[in-house]
Amino acid sequence: MREKYNRGLTLVELLVTIAISTIVMGIAASVLINSMNSYKNIASEQLLQQEANLLLTQLRTIHQQNRSYTISYDKNENIYIVTYPNSTTDTLGNRNVFFEVEINNMKISESNPFSVSPDTNLLNVKIKGTAPNGSTPFEIETGIIRIEAGMR
């Protein structure tokens, strides 16, 4: 009589194992890709929020320390420029991130600069931006008030 030895896998067992492994690896790869895309979107949106906060902080400091100034937008450089009465200038924000800035419901552009006079104490500021990856637009709206101590 012949003895039957089970030393290996049949072809059907091997094919089923390969099919199940392929499905599991496909699901794992899909989860990994989705989590990487989510991370990129969140990181991009956080960068946008940080840059908007930096621009607001700079604007708040300028407004507190100066009685009058003008803010304009330079489209070629992608930057907002603050010009003081003595003709010195500062820049607001980062050239790599585009924001649309409105002050007291007036959008600042090349052809439409915003001038702050000594009697302007309150600025209503709205900053709009879109992350470089085109995800959800970001918008922040706040008020900046001038405290009379320490004026130039």
Which residues in 113-135 are b (16+ Cβ under 10 Å) and which e? Answer: ebebeeebeebebbbbbbbeeee
All structural domains of the chain with their residue ranges = 11-145
Q: Which residues contact 20 (CB under 8 A, 6 or more apart)?
A: none
What's the whole-model pTM score? 0.74
Q: Give residue-wise pLDDT tens across range 113-149.
A: 999 998 888 999 999 987 666 666 788 999 999 887 5
Q: What is the pLDDT of residue 44?
A: 83
Of these ranges, 3-12, 16-25, 55-64, the one predicted with the greatest mean pLDDT is: 16-25
- Give the per-residue pLDDT at 135: 66
Higher confidence at residue 39 or residue 5? 39
Given this model, what pLDDT does residue 8 score?
Answer: 77
Pairing outcome for strands 114-116 and 69-74:
antiparallel
> Per-residue pLDDT tens for 46-95?
888 888 899 999 999 999 999 899 999 998 888 999 999 999 999 988 88
Neighbour count for residue 98 (Cβ, 10 Å): 15
- What mean pLDDT do residues 28-56 have? 90
Contact assessment for residue 59 and residue 22, using Cβ atoms and an 8 Å cutoff? no
